[in-house]
Amino acid sequence: MTAPRLAVAVQNAASTTAVPSRAIIRKWVAAALRGARGEVTVRIVAADESAALNLRYRRRRGATNVLSFAGGAATSVPTRELTPLGDLVVCAEVVEREAREQNKALDAHWAHIVMHGALHLVGYDHLTAAESESMEKRERALLAKFGFPDPYVPST
C-alpha cells in the first residue's frame, strides 16, 4: 500500500460551532496544494492562542485570521513517510468577525482564509504587487471551483 500524497490533519481547539467540517477543510487544503506531497496540520483556535502565536512568531499584537508555518527541510524522512509541508493556525473568532464586517458568506470566507494559508506553505506570498497579483489570481480560481465569489470584490 502506498502512502497518500497529501495528509491533512484538522484540530479544532475553538469553542465556536461555526467551524466548517474537517472534511471540507481537508478538501480546501488539498485543492490549494494540488500536486504537493506531504503532511499539513490545520489547527482552529480561539483568539487568545492566535494572539500568543502572532506575538511570538510575527512580533505583532492581537489575533489574526491565519498563520502559516512552512515545514522545514527534513533531513532524514523514511521514503514511505510524508514530509511536513507545514501547519496552519486559523482563528475562528477573527474569521467570523471579518465575514460579518466584510458582508461575506461565512463559508466563503473560511474557504478563502484556509486556502490563502495553504498557498503560503507552497511559496505564494503577497509582499510585492507582483506576488499579490499571482496569489490573488490563484485564490480566485480555487474559490471559483467551489462556487465562491471573488473575495477581493467588495460585497454589497
Tell me the pLDDT tens digit for each residue of 88-135: 999 999 999 999 999 999 999 999 999 999 999 999 999 999 999 999
Strands 38-45 and 84-91: parallel
Distance set, CA 99 to CA 24, 41, 109, 154 (Å):
18, 23, 6, 11
- pLDDT at residue 18, as a whole number: 87
Element (H, E) at 43: strand 38-45
Q: pLDDT class for 78, splitting at 50, 70, 90?
A: low
Q: How many CB atoms lie within 10 A of CB 112?
A: 27
Return d(Cα 132, Cα 125) in angstroms, integer: 7
Tell me the pLDDT tens digit for each residue of 3-54: 558 999 999 999 888 899 999 999 999 999 998 889 999 999 999 999 999 9
- H helices, E strands: number in the chain: 5, 4
Q: pLDDT class for 57, splitting at 50, 70, 90?
A: very high
- With a pLDDT cut of 70, the percent of the chain lying above it is 91
Domains and CATH numbers, the chain: 6-145 (3.40.390.30)
Asked if residues 63 and 94 have their Cβ atoms less than 8 Å apart, the reply is yes
Return d(Cα 119, Cα 132) in angstroms, integer: 12
Return d(Cα 36, Cα 120) in angstroms, integer: 13
Asked if residues 101 and 11 have their Cβ atoms less than 8 Å apart, the reply is no
Residue 119 identity (one-letter amino acid): L
pTM of the model: 0.92
